[in-house]
Chain A
Amino acid sequence: MRGSGVLLVAGLAGTAVGVLGVVRAAVRLDRLHVRTDAAWAALDDALGRRAHAVRALDACLTAAEAALRAEPVIREDVENELGRAIAVLDRADLDPACAARLADAEQRVMIARRVYNDAVRDTLALRSRRMVRWLRLAGTAALPQYFEIAEPQDGAGA
Protein backbone atom coordinates (compact mmCIF):
# COMPACT_ATOMS: atom_id res chain seq x y z
CA MET A 1 0.00 0.00 0.00
CA ARG A 2 2.69 2.40 1.05
CA GLY A 3 4.69 1.51 -2.07
CA SER A 4 1.83 2.44 -4.39
CA GLY A 5 1.28 5.66 -2.41
CA VAL A 6 4.86 6.69 -3.01
CA LEU A 7 4.47 5.78 -6.67
CA LEU A 8 1.32 7.87 -6.89
CA VAL A 9 3.00 10.89 -5.34
CA ALA A 10 6.02 10.46 -7.61
CA GLY A 11 3.73 10.13 -10.61
CA LEU A 12 1.78 13.27 -9.69
CA ALA A 13 4.99 15.20 -9.10
CA GLY A 14 6.33 14.01 -12.45
CA THR A 15 3.13 15.07 -14.23
CA ALA A 16 3.21 18.45 -12.49
CA VAL A 17 6.81 19.05 -13.61
CA GLY A 18 5.87 18.00 -17.14
CA VAL A 19 2.84 20.30 -17.26
CA LEU A 20 4.93 23.15 -15.85
CA GLY A 21 7.53 22.59 -18.55
CA VAL A 22 4.88 22.66 -21.27
CA VAL A 23 3.29 25.82 -19.88
CA ARG A 24 6.69 27.48 -19.68
CA ALA A 25 7.47 26.59 -23.28
CA ALA A 26 4.07 27.90 -24.38
CA VAL A 27 4.63 31.19 -22.57
CA ARG A 28 8.09 31.54 -24.13
CA LEU A 29 6.72 30.76 -27.56
CA ASP A 30 3.96 33.32 -27.26
CA ARG A 31 6.46 35.93 -26.12
CA LEU A 32 8.70 35.11 -29.10
CA HIS A 33 5.83 35.42 -31.58
CA VAL A 34 4.94 38.81 -30.18
CA ARG A 35 8.62 39.82 -30.28
CA THR A 36 8.88 38.75 -33.94
CA ASP A 37 5.76 40.74 -34.87
CA ALA A 38 7.05 43.85 -33.13
CA ALA A 39 10.47 43.45 -34.76
CA TRP A 40 8.78 43.19 -38.15
CA ALA A 41 6.89 46.40 -37.44
CA ALA A 42 10.20 48.13 -36.69
CA LEU A 43 11.86 46.71 -39.83
CA ASP A 44 8.88 47.73 -41.97
CA ASP A 45 9.17 51.22 -40.54
CA ALA A 46 12.94 51.39 -41.20
CA LEU A 47 12.51 50.20 -44.80
CA GLY A 48 9.80 52.81 -45.32
CA ARG A 49 12.07 55.52 -43.98
CA ARG A 50 14.81 54.47 -46.36
CA ALA A 51 12.49 54.59 -49.35
CA HIS A 52 11.26 58.03 -48.28
CA ALA A 53 14.85 59.27 -47.83
CA VAL A 54 15.65 58.12 -51.36
CA ARG A 55 12.49 59.65 -52.78
CA ALA A 56 13.52 62.97 -51.28
CA LEU A 57 16.74 62.78 -53.34
CA ASP A 58 14.88 62.78 -56.66
CA ALA A 59 17.24 59.99 -57.67
CA CYS A 60 16.38 56.31 -58.10
CA LEU A 61 12.79 57.48 -57.98
CA THR A 62 11.30 54.45 -59.67
CA ALA A 63 12.95 52.03 -57.27
CA ALA A 64 11.86 54.05 -54.23
CA GLU A 65 8.26 54.27 -55.44
CA ALA A 66 8.24 50.55 -56.08
CA ALA A 67 9.54 49.85 -52.58
CA LEU A 68 6.88 52.02 -51.01
CA ARG A 69 4.11 50.29 -52.94
CA ALA A 70 5.56 46.79 -52.79
CA GLU A 71 3.35 43.82 -52.06
CA PRO A 72 4.84 41.96 -49.11
CA VAL A 73 5.27 38.92 -51.36
CA ILE A 74 7.98 40.58 -53.41
CA ARG A 75 9.23 42.84 -50.64
CA GLU A 76 12.76 41.44 -50.47
CA ASP A 77 13.30 41.70 -54.25
CA VAL A 78 12.04 45.26 -54.37
CA GLU A 79 14.10 46.34 -51.36
CA ASN A 80 17.17 44.70 -52.89
CA GLU A 81 16.51 46.59 -56.09
CA LEU A 82 16.37 49.83 -54.12
CA GLY A 83 19.54 48.85 -52.24
CA ARG A 84 21.39 48.35 -55.52
CA ALA A 85 20.11 51.67 -56.85
CA ILE A 86 21.40 53.39 -53.70
CA ALA A 87 24.77 51.63 -53.92
CA VAL A 88 25.56 53.17 -57.31
CA LEU A 89 24.63 56.69 -56.20
CA ASP A 90 27.55 59.07 -56.06
CA ARG A 91 27.31 60.37 -52.51
CA ALA A 92 29.61 63.29 -53.23
CA ASP A 93 26.97 64.68 -55.60
CA LEU A 94 24.20 64.66 -53.01
CA ASP A 95 23.09 67.47 -50.79
CA PRO A 96 24.96 66.76 -47.49
CA ALA A 97 21.79 66.84 -45.37
CA CYS A 98 20.05 64.37 -47.70
CA ALA A 99 23.12 62.13 -47.84
CA ALA A 100 23.32 62.08 -44.04
CA ARG A 101 19.63 61.20 -43.80
CA LEU A 102 20.07 58.40 -46.32
CA ALA A 103 23.10 56.98 -44.48
CA ASP A 104 21.13 57.08 -41.23
CA ALA A 105 18.15 55.34 -42.85
CA GLU A 106 20.41 52.64 -44.30
CA GLN A 107 22.04 52.02 -40.93
CA ARG A 108 18.61 51.69 -39.33
CA VAL A 109 17.49 49.16 -41.93
CA MET A 110 20.59 47.10 -41.13
CA ILE A 111 19.92 47.24 -37.37
CA ALA A 112 16.20 46.51 -37.72
CA ARG A 113 16.95 43.56 -39.98
CA ARG A 114 19.31 42.07 -37.38
CA VAL A 115 16.70 42.61 -34.66
CA TYR A 116 13.98 40.97 -36.76
CA ASN A 117 16.09 38.01 -37.90
CA ASP A 118 17.22 37.42 -34.29
CA ALA A 119 13.59 37.21 -33.22
CA VAL A 120 12.83 34.82 -36.09
CA ARG A 121 15.85 32.67 -35.22
CA ASP A 122 14.84 32.34 -31.56
CA THR A 123 11.24 31.57 -32.52
CA LEU A 124 12.21 28.92 -35.06
CA ALA A 125 14.63 27.33 -32.57
CA LEU A 126 11.87 26.88 -30.00
CA ARG A 127 9.34 25.77 -32.60
CA SER A 128 11.65 23.04 -33.83
CA ARG A 129 11.60 21.39 -30.39
CA ARG A 130 9.80 18.04 -30.32
CA MET A 131 7.53 18.95 -27.42
CA VAL A 132 6.40 22.13 -29.14
CA ARG A 133 5.70 20.33 -32.41
CA TRP A 134 3.91 17.31 -30.89
CA LEU A 135 1.70 19.34 -28.60
CA ARG A 136 1.11 21.95 -31.31
CA LEU A 137 1.95 24.71 -28.84
CA ALA A 138 2.29 27.19 -31.70
CA GLY A 139 -1.36 26.77 -32.61
CA THR A 140 -2.19 28.29 -35.96
CA ALA A 141 0.60 30.89 -35.94
CA ALA A 142 2.50 30.84 -39.23
CA LEU A 143 6.19 29.99 -39.22
CA PRO A 144 8.07 33.30 -39.29
CA GLN A 145 10.54 33.75 -42.13
CA TYR A 146 13.92 35.46 -42.26
CA PHE A 147 14.14 38.72 -44.18
CA GLU A 148 17.14 38.39 -46.45
CA ILE A 149 18.43 41.43 -48.29
CA ALA A 150 21.95 42.32 -49.32
CA GLU A 151 23.80 44.66 -47.00
CA PRO A 152 26.04 47.45 -48.21
CA GLN A 153 29.61 46.21 -47.79
CA ASP A 154 31.17 49.44 -46.65
CA GLY A 155 29.43 50.32 -43.38
CA ALA A 156 30.30 53.39 -41.36
CA GLY A 157 33.35 52.90 -39.21
CA ALA A 158 35.93 50.18 -39.01
Chain B
Amino acid sequence: MVCPYSLAARGGVQAHVLGLAQGLRDLGHQVQVLAPAVAGAALPEFVTAAGRAVRVPYNGSVAQLAFGPVAVTRVRRWLRAHDFDLLHLHEPTAPSVSLIALALADLPVVATFHMATTRSWALAAAHGLLQPPMEKITARIAVSPLARRVQVEYLGGDAVEIPNGLDVALFATASPLPGYPRRGGTVGFVGRFDEPRKGMPVLLAALRTLARTRPELQLLVVGHGDTATLRRAAGPALTSRIRVLGAVGEQGKAAMLRSVDVLGVPATGGESFGVVLTEALAAGTPVVASDLDAFRRVLDGGRAGVLVSPAAPTALAGVLGDLLDDPARRAELATAGRRRAAIWDWPVIARRVLQVYETAIAADPRRLAPGSAVPIRSLLTRTPR
Protein backbone atom coordinates (compact mmCIF):
# COMPACT_ATOMS: atom_id res chain seq x y z
CA MET B 1 0.00 0.00 0.00
CA VAL B 2 1.40 3.38 -0.93
CA CYS B 3 0.45 6.72 0.62
CA PRO B 4 1.58 9.85 -1.26
CA TYR B 5 1.43 12.28 1.67
CA SER B 6 3.91 12.54 4.50
CA LEU B 7 2.98 10.72 7.68
CA ALA B 8 4.52 13.62 9.62
CA ALA B 9 1.28 15.52 8.93
CA ARG B 10 -1.80 13.64 10.01
CA GLY B 11 -4.54 14.07 7.44
CA GLY B 12 -7.53 12.11 6.22
CA VAL B 13 -5.62 10.10 3.61
CA GLN B 14 -2.86 9.15 6.05
CA ALA B 15 -5.39 8.06 8.70
CA HIS B 16 -7.23 6.04 6.04
CA VAL B 17 -4.05 4.26 4.89
CA LEU B 18 -2.95 3.35 8.42
CA GLY B 19 -6.48 2.32 9.50
CA LEU B 20 -7.03 0.15 6.45
CA ALA B 21 -3.58 -1.44 6.72
CA GLN B 22 -4.25 -2.29 10.35
CA GLY B 23 -7.73 -3.61 9.49
CA LEU B 24 -6.32 -5.90 6.80
CA ARG B 25 -3.57 -7.10 9.12
CA ASP B 26 -6.18 -7.89 11.77
CA LEU B 27 -7.87 -10.12 9.16
CA GLY B 28 -4.59 -12.03 8.82
CA HIS B 29 -3.20 -10.44 5.64
CA GLN B 30 0.33 -9.23 5.15
CA VAL B 31 0.41 -5.52 4.45
CA GLN B 32 3.37 -3.19 3.95
CA VAL B 33 2.96 0.58 3.68
CA LEU B 34 5.29 2.97 1.87
CA ALA B 35 4.92 6.67 2.62
CA PRO B 36 7.04 9.81 2.70
CA ALA B 37 8.54 10.15 6.18
CA VAL B 38 11.97 10.76 7.59
CA ALA B 39 13.87 7.71 8.82
CA GLY B 40 13.67 7.37 12.57
CA ALA B 41 10.21 8.91 12.86
CA ALA B 42 7.87 6.96 15.16
CA LEU B 43 6.04 4.72 12.68
CA PRO B 44 4.16 1.42 12.91
CA GLU B 45 6.50 -1.47 12.12
CA PHE B 46 4.80 -2.20 8.78
CA VAL B 47 5.59 1.27 7.40
CA THR B 48 8.66 1.97 5.23
CA ALA B 49 9.85 5.57 5.02
CA ALA B 50 10.21 6.84 1.46
CA GLY B 51 12.32 9.83 2.40
CA ARG B 52 11.85 13.45 3.25
CA ALA B 53 8.75 15.16 1.92
CA VAL B 54 8.69 18.55 0.26
CA ARG B 55 5.93 20.99 1.11
CA VAL B 56 4.09 21.76 -2.10
CA PRO B 57 0.97 23.85 -2.62
CA TYR B 58 -1.29 21.22 -4.17
CA ASN B 59 -5.00 21.06 -4.72
CA GLY B 60 -5.85 24.12 -2.66
CA SER B 61 -3.75 23.29 0.38
CA VAL B 62 -0.15 22.50 1.25
CA ALA B 63 0.66 18.81 0.76
CA GLN B 64 3.84 17.11 1.84
CA LEU B 65 4.95 15.08 -1.15
CA ALA B 66 8.08 13.11 -2.04
CA PHE B 67 9.47 12.89 -5.56
CA GLY B 68 12.81 12.96 -7.35
CA PRO B 69 15.58 10.36 -7.80
CA VAL B 70 15.77 9.43 -4.11
CA ALA B 71 12.06 8.66 -3.96
CA VAL B 72 12.27 6.61 -7.18
CA THR B 73 15.13 4.53 -5.76
CA ARG B 74 13.28 3.96 -2.49
CA VAL B 75 10.10 2.88 -4.28
CA ARG B 76 12.01 0.50 -6.55
CA ARG B 77 13.90 -1.00 -3.61
CA TRP B 78 10.66 -1.42 -1.62
CA LEU B 79 8.89 -3.14 -4.52
CA ARG B 80 11.85 -5.53 -4.95
CA ALA B 81 12.16 -6.28 -1.26
CA HIS B 82 8.58 -7.58 -1.02
CA ASP B 83 6.97 -10.12 -3.24
CA PHE B 84 3.57 -8.42 -3.44
CA ASP B 85 0.45 -10.01 -4.90
CA LEU B 86 -1.13 -6.64 -5.36
CA LEU B 87 -0.31 -2.95 -5.10
CA HIS B 88 -2.83 -0.55 -3.55
CA LEU B 89 -2.07 3.10 -4.36
CA HIS B 90 -3.76 6.03 -2.71
CA GLU B 91 -4.37 9.26 -4.64
CA PRO B 92 -2.15 8.15 -7.58
CA THR B 93 -2.61 11.46 -9.39
CA ALA B 94 -0.62 13.34 -6.74
CA PRO B 95 2.98 13.79 -7.91
CA SER B 96 4.50 11.61 -5.22
CA VAL B 97 5.45 8.02 -4.40
CA SER B 98 2.07 6.60 -5.48
CA LEU B 99 2.59 7.80 -9.05
CA ILE B 100 6.19 6.55 -9.03
CA ALA B 101 5.04 3.13 -7.83
CA LEU B 102 2.39 3.08 -10.55
CA ALA B 103 5.01 3.77 -13.22
CA LEU B 104 7.29 1.02 -11.88
CA ALA B 105 4.62 -1.56 -11.06
CA ASP B 106 4.34 -4.88 -12.84
CA LEU B 107 1.49 -6.43 -10.82
CA PRO B 108 -2.26 -5.89 -10.32
CA VAL B 109 -2.93 -2.33 -9.15
CA VAL B 110 -5.88 -1.04 -7.12
CA ALA B 111 -6.15 2.73 -6.67
CA THR B 112 -8.17 4.69 -4.12
CA PHE B 113 -9.20 8.24 -4.94
CA HIS B 114 -9.87 10.54 -2.01
CA MET B 115 -9.97 13.92 -3.67
CA ALA B 116 -13.33 15.56 -4.00
CA THR B 117 -12.49 18.87 -5.68
CA THR B 118 -14.73 19.17 -8.67
CA ARG B 119 -12.43 21.64 -10.40
CA SER B 120 -8.74 21.01 -10.71
CA TRP B 121 -6.72 22.72 -13.41
CA ALA B 122 -3.73 20.57 -12.49
CA LEU B 123 -5.67 17.37 -13.20
CA ALA B 124 -7.12 18.70 -16.41
CA ALA B 125 -3.67 19.80 -17.63
CA ALA B 126 -1.99 16.54 -16.67
CA HIS B 127 -4.68 14.30 -18.15
CA GLY B 128 -2.77 13.48 -21.34
CA LEU B 129 0.46 12.78 -19.48
CA LEU B 130 -1.24 10.69 -16.79
CA GLN B 131 -3.29 8.55 -19.18
CA PRO B 132 -0.60 5.92 -20.03
CA PRO B 133 0.30 5.12 -16.38
CA MET B 134 -3.39 5.26 -15.37
CA GLU B 135 -4.09 2.48 -17.86
CA LYS B 136 -2.23 0.16 -15.51
CA ILE B 137 -4.85 0.52 -12.79
CA THR B 138 -7.10 -2.54 -12.67
CA ALA B 139 -9.69 -1.44 -10.13
CA ARG B 140 -10.56 1.94 -8.67
CA ILE B 141 -12.11 2.83 -5.33
CA ALA B 142 -13.62 6.21 -4.44
CA VAL B 143 -14.19 7.16 -0.80
CA SER B 144 -17.30 9.28 -1.44
CA PRO B 145 -19.91 9.91 -4.13
CA LEU B 146 -18.12 13.18 -4.85
CA ALA B 147 -14.73 11.48 -5.25
CA ARG B 148 -16.38 9.04 -7.63
CA ARG B 149 -17.78 11.92 -9.66
CA VAL B 150 -14.27 13.40 -9.98
CA GLN B 151 -13.26 10.01 -11.38
CA VAL B 152 -16.01 9.91 -13.94
CA GLU B 153 -15.73 13.53 -15.05
CA TYR B 154 -12.00 14.21 -14.98
CA LEU B 155 -10.13 10.93 -15.11
CA GLY B 156 -12.35 8.95 -17.44
CA GLY B 157 -13.06 5.97 -15.24
CA ASP B 158 -15.60 4.59 -12.86
CA ALA B 159 -14.95 3.49 -9.30
CA VAL B 160 -16.36 1.30 -6.59
CA GLU B 161 -17.55 3.40 -3.66
CA ILE B 162 -16.16 2.35 -0.29
CA PRO B 163 -16.29 5.01 2.43
CA ASN B 164 -13.61 5.92 4.95
CA GLY B 165 -13.39 3.59 7.91
CA LEU B 166 -13.70 4.51 11.54
CA ASP B 167 -12.07 3.33 14.75
CA VAL B 168 -15.40 2.33 16.27
CA ALA B 169 -13.86 0.93 19.47
CA LEU B 170 -12.11 4.22 20.25
CA PHE B 171 -15.42 6.11 20.22
CA ALA B 172 -17.54 3.36 21.74
CA THR B 173 -15.36 2.86 24.80
CA ALA B 174 -13.94 6.32 25.58
CA SER B 175 -14.53 7.59 29.12
CA PRO B 176 -16.61 10.77 29.41
CA LEU B 177 -14.95 13.97 30.66
CA PRO B 178 -14.85 14.34 34.46
CA GLY B 179 -18.22 15.57 35.72
CA TYR B 180 -20.14 14.44 32.63
CA PRO B 181 -22.82 13.48 31.69
CA ARG B 182 -24.13 16.32 33.85
CA ARG B 183 -27.62 17.31 34.93
CA GLY B 184 -29.45 20.10 33.15
CA GLY B 185 -28.68 19.04 29.58
CA THR B 186 -25.53 19.30 27.48
CA VAL B 187 -25.54 19.93 23.74
CA GLY B 188 -22.35 19.28 21.76
CA PHE B 189 -20.85 20.87 18.65
CA VAL B 190 -17.79 19.58 16.77
CA GLY B 191 -16.06 21.46 13.98
CA ARG B 192 -14.78 24.85 12.87
CA PHE B 193 -17.21 27.02 14.76
CA ASP B 194 -16.27 30.29 13.09
CA GLU B 195 -17.10 28.93 9.64
CA PRO B 196 -20.74 29.95 9.02
CA ARG B 197 -21.28 26.93 6.69
CA LYS B 198 -20.91 24.69 9.74
CA GLY B 199 -24.00 26.31 11.20
CA MET B 200 -22.91 27.63 14.59
CA PRO B 201 -25.14 30.76 14.24
CA VAL B 202 -28.18 28.49 13.74
CA LEU B 203 -27.30 26.43 16.80
CA LEU B 204 -26.77 29.57 18.91
CA ALA B 205 -30.16 30.93 17.90
CA ALA B 206 -31.81 27.63 18.81
CA LEU B 207 -30.04 27.49 22.16
CA ARG B 208 -31.04 31.06 22.99
CA THR B 209 -34.66 29.89 22.87
CA LEU B 210 -33.96 26.76 24.93
CA ALA B 211 -31.83 28.56 27.51
CA ARG B 212 -34.79 30.67 28.65
CA THR B 213 -36.51 27.64 30.18
CA ARG B 214 -33.41 25.58 30.99
CA PRO B 215 -31.14 27.37 33.46
CA GLU B 216 -28.53 24.57 33.49
CA LEU B 217 -28.25 24.03 29.71
CA GLN B 218 -24.65 23.92 28.43
CA LEU B 219 -23.03 23.97 24.99
CA LEU B 220 -19.79 21.99 24.79
CA VAL B 221 -17.64 22.89 21.78
CA VAL B 222 -14.73 21.03 20.17
CA GLY B 223 -12.89 22.44 17.15
CA HIS B 224 -10.88 25.33 15.75
CA GLY B 225 -12.01 28.92 15.85
CA ASP B 226 -11.80 32.21 17.68
CA THR B 227 -13.45 31.80 21.10
CA ALA B 228 -13.84 35.54 21.75
CA THR B 229 -15.80 35.99 18.51
CA LEU B 230 -17.95 32.99 19.40
CA ARG B 231 -18.79 34.45 22.81
CA ARG B 232 -19.66 37.81 21.27
CA ALA B 233 -21.93 36.08 18.74
CA ALA B 234 -23.59 34.10 21.53
CA GLY B 235 -24.65 37.25 23.32
CA PRO B 236 -24.75 37.99 27.05
CA ALA B 237 -27.52 35.49 27.85
CA LEU B 238 -25.72 32.54 26.37
CA THR B 239 -22.00 33.21 26.74
CA SER B 240 -21.78 31.81 30.27
CA ARG B 241 -23.36 28.57 29.09
CA ILE B 242 -20.65 27.85 26.52
CA ARG B 243 -17.60 25.75 27.29
CA VAL B 244 -15.00 25.62 24.50
CA LEU B 245 -12.51 22.75 24.60
CA GLY B 246 -10.73 23.83 21.40
CA ALA B 247 -8.88 21.41 19.14
CA VAL B 248 -8.46 18.26 21.23
CA GLY B 249 -7.44 15.35 18.98
CA GLU B 250 -9.19 12.02 18.51
CA GLN B 251 -9.14 10.89 22.15
CA GLY B 252 -10.47 14.22 23.38
CA LYS B 253 -13.19 14.26 20.76
CA ALA B 254 -14.26 10.74 21.73
CA ALA B 255 -14.44 11.74 25.40
CA MET B 256 -16.46 14.85 24.50
CA LEU B 257 -18.93 12.86 22.38
CA ARG B 258 -19.44 10.45 25.28
CA SER B 259 -20.11 13.43 27.60
CA VAL B 260 -22.89 15.30 25.78
CA ASP B 261 -26.60 14.39 25.77
CA VAL B 262 -27.04 15.28 22.14
CA LEU B 263 -24.77 16.43 19.29
CA GLY B 264 -25.96 19.25 17.05
CA VAL B 265 -24.69 19.21 13.46
CA PRO B 266 -26.46 22.25 11.96
CA ALA B 267 -24.29 22.63 8.81
CA THR B 268 -26.06 24.57 6.07
CA GLY B 269 -24.53 22.86 3.03
CA GLY B 270 -21.38 21.80 1.20
CA GLU B 271 -20.93 18.58 3.14
CA SER B 272 -19.80 15.49 1.24
CA PHE B 273 -19.88 12.87 3.98
CA GLY B 274 -20.00 13.84 7.67
CA VAL B 275 -17.22 12.05 9.53
CA VAL B 276 -18.30 13.60 12.83
CA LEU B 277 -21.74 12.01 12.43
CA THR B 278 -20.23 8.55 12.10
CA GLU B 279 -18.05 9.21 15.15
CA ALA B 280 -21.05 10.30 17.21
CA LEU B 281 -23.03 7.24 16.13
CA ALA B 282 -20.12 5.01 17.18
CA ALA B 283 -19.99 6.78 20.55
CA GLY B 284 -23.72 6.22 21.01
CA THR B 285 -24.40 9.96 21.07
CA PRO B 286 -27.84 10.98 19.77
CA VAL B 287 -27.43 13.23 16.73
CA VAL B 288 -29.57 16.07 15.43
CA ALA B 289 -28.33 17.05 11.96
CA SER B 290 -29.38 19.23 9.04
CA ASP B 291 -31.37 17.40 6.42
CA LEU B 292 -28.64 17.43 3.74
CA ASP B 293 -28.08 14.62 1.20
CA ALA B 294 -24.79 13.53 2.75
CA PHE B 295 -26.15 13.54 6.31
CA ARG B 296 -29.34 11.73 5.31
CA ARG B 297 -27.23 8.94 3.84
CA VAL B 298 -25.05 8.65 6.95
CA LEU B 299 -28.09 8.68 9.25
CA ASP B 300 -29.83 6.00 7.20
CA GLY B 301 -32.64 8.31 6.12
CA GLY B 302 -33.27 9.49 9.70
CA ARG B 303 -33.39 6.08 11.37
CA ALA B 304 -30.03 6.51 13.12
CA GLY B 305 -30.44 10.18 14.02
CA VAL B 306 -32.86 13.09 13.81
CA LEU B 307 -32.91 15.28 10.68
CA VAL B 308 -34.13 18.89 10.74
CA SER B 309 -34.41 21.50 8.00
CA PRO B 310 -31.12 23.35 7.59
CA ALA B 311 -30.95 26.94 8.85
CA ALA B 312 -34.22 26.69 10.79
CA PRO B 313 -33.39 27.62 14.43
CA THR B 314 -36.97 27.20 15.68
CA ALA B 315 -37.28 23.66 14.36
CA LEU B 316 -33.81 22.82 15.70
CA ALA B 317 -34.73 24.19 19.15
CA GLY B 318 -37.90 22.09 19.17
CA VAL B 319 -36.10 18.86 18.30
CA LEU B 320 -33.22 19.49 20.72
CA GLY B 321 -35.65 20.30 23.53
CA ASP B 322 -37.72 17.17 22.95
CA LEU B 323 -34.61 14.99 22.96
CA LEU B 324 -33.20 16.56 26.13
CA ASP B 325 -36.52 15.81 27.87
CA ASP B 326 -36.77 12.22 26.64
CA PRO B 327 -34.07 9.86 27.95
CA ALA B 328 -35.87 6.82 26.50
CA ARG B 329 -35.75 8.26 22.97
CA ARG B 330 -32.08 9.13 23.46
CA ALA B 331 -31.31 5.56 24.49
CA GLU B 332 -33.17 4.31 21.43
CA LEU B 333 -31.14 6.58 19.15
CA ALA B 334 -27.91 5.51 20.85
CA THR B 335 -28.68 1.85 20.11
CA ALA B 336 -29.68 2.58 16.49
CA GLY B 337 -26.53 4.71 16.09
CA ARG B 338 -24.18 2.01 17.34
CA ARG B 339 -25.76 -0.52 15.00
CA ARG B 340 -25.38 1.90 12.09
CA ALA B 341 -21.75 2.79 12.91
CA ALA B 342 -20.71 -0.87 12.58
CA ILE B 343 -20.75 -0.54 8.77
CA TRP B 344 -17.79 1.88 8.95
CA ASP B 345 -15.72 -0.23 11.31
CA TRP B 346 -12.30 -0.86 9.77
CA PRO B 347 -12.58 -4.66 9.70
CA VAL B 348 -15.90 -4.33 7.80
CA ILE B 349 -14.43 -1.79 5.37
CA ALA B 350 -11.31 -3.95 5.00
CA ARG B 351 -13.48 -6.91 3.94
CA ARG B 352 -15.12 -4.79 1.25
CA VAL B 353 -11.70 -3.65 0.04
CA LEU B 354 -10.62 -7.30 -0.05
CA GLN B 355 -13.45 -8.07 -2.49
CA VAL B 356 -11.96 -5.44 -4.79
CA TYR B 357 -8.47 -6.93 -4.33
CA GLU B 358 -9.76 -10.38 -5.23
CA THR B 359 -11.50 -9.06 -8.34
CA ALA B 360 -8.35 -7.19 -9.38
CA ILE B 361 -6.29 -10.35 -8.99
CA ALA B 362 -8.93 -12.34 -10.91
CA ALA B 363 -8.74 -9.72 -13.68
CA ASP B 364 -4.95 -9.85 -13.87
CA PRO B 365 -3.73 -10.68 -17.39
CA ARG B 366 -0.79 -12.61 -15.92
CA ARG B 367 -3.29 -15.20 -14.73
CA LEU B 368 -4.30 -15.97 -18.29
CA ALA B 369 -2.18 -18.70 -19.77
CA PRO B 370 -0.94 -17.72 -23.26
CA GLY B 371 -3.14 -20.40 -24.87
CA SER B 372 -6.33 -19.28 -23.13
CA ALA B 373 -6.27 -15.78 -24.56
CA VAL B 374 -7.91 -16.86 -27.82
CA PRO B 375 -11.15 -18.42 -26.51
CA ILE B 376 -11.67 -15.46 -24.22
CA ARG B 377 -11.17 -13.02 -27.06
CA SER B 378 -13.76 -14.89 -29.11
CA LEU B 379 -16.17 -14.77 -26.17
CA LEU B 380 -15.57 -11.06 -25.94
CA THR B 381 -16.35 -10.38 -29.57
CA ARG B 382 -19.74 -11.96 -29.12
CA THR B 383 -20.58 -9.82 -26.11
CA PRO B 384 -23.48 -7.65 -27.22
CA ARG B 385 -24.15 -3.98 -26.68
Contacts and interface: CB of A to CB of B under 8 A. Distances in A.
Interface of A: 28, 31-32, 34-46, 71-76, 104, 107-108, 110-112, 114-119, 121-122, 125-126, 141-142, 144-148, 155-158
17 contacts: A36-B380, A38-B367, A39-B138, A39-B363, A41-B362, A41-B367, A41-B368, A43-B363, A72-B379, A118-B137, A119-B138, A122-B134, A122-B156, A144-B383, A145-B385, A156-B343, A158-B298
Given A114-B159, A157-B162, 11 more contacts: A31-B365, A32-B135, A35-B138, A40-B383, A42-B362, A72-B384, A114-B160, A119-B138, A121-B157, A125-B156, A158-B273
A45 B362 contact: yes
Contact of B363 (A112, A121, A122, A148): A112
A72 B384 CA distance: 7
B373 A37 contact: yes
A146 to B, nearest CB: 8
B381 A142 contact: yes
Contacts of B365: 31, 34-35, 37-38
Given A111-B160, A114-B140, A42 B373 contact: no
Interface stretch (B14-22, B204-212, B352-360): B352-360
A73 B384 contact: yes
A145 to B, nearest CB: 5
Contacts of A28: 132, 135
A104 B351 CA distance: 10
B379 A40 contact: yes
Contact of A75 (B131, B157, B160, B383): B383
B384 A38 contact: no
B376 interface: yes
B158 interface: yes
A16 to B, nearest CB: 19
A125 B132 CA distance: 11
Interface of B: 131-132, 134-135, 137-140, 156-163, 273, 297-298, 343-344, 352, 355-356, 358-360, 362-365, 367-368, 373, 376-377, 379-385
- Interface pairs A-B: 6 shortest CB-CB: A42-B363, A42-B362, A142-B381, A72-B382, A38-B365, A34-B365
Nearest to B363: A42
Given A40-B380, A76-B384, A107 B159 contact: no
Contacts of A122: 134-135, 156-157
Given A42-B362, A141-B377, A107 B355 contact: yes
Contacts of B162: 157
Contacts of A104: 355
A123 B384 CA distance: 17
> Is chain A's interface secondary structure helix, strand, loop, or mixed overall?
helix
Contacts of B298: 158
Given A118-B140, A118-B158, A111 B382 contact: no
A71 B379 CA distance: 10
Interface centre among A28, A32, A38, A146 (most CB of B within 10 A): A38
B139 A114 contact: yes
Nearest to B274: A158
B161 A155 contact: yes
A40 B378 CA distance: 11
A85 to B, nearest CB: 20
B344 to A, nearest CB: 8
A74 B384 contact: yes
B367 A107 contact: no
A37 B368 contact: yes
A147 B383 contact: yes
A158 B343 contact: yes
Nearest to B379: A72
A119 B140 CA distance: 11
A29 to B, nearest CB: 10
A116 B359 CA distance: 10
A111 B373 contact: no
Nearest to A122: B135
Nearest to A31: B135
A14 B231 CA distance: 70
B341 to A, nearest CB: 11
B128 to A, nearest CB: 11
Contacts of A40: 376, 379-380, 383
Given A28-B135, A145-B383, A38 B363 contact: yes
A73 B385 CA distance: 9
Contacts of B159: 114
Contact of B297 (A118, A121, A158): A158
A73 B76 CA distance: 45
Contact of B163 (A32, A108, A148, A157): A157
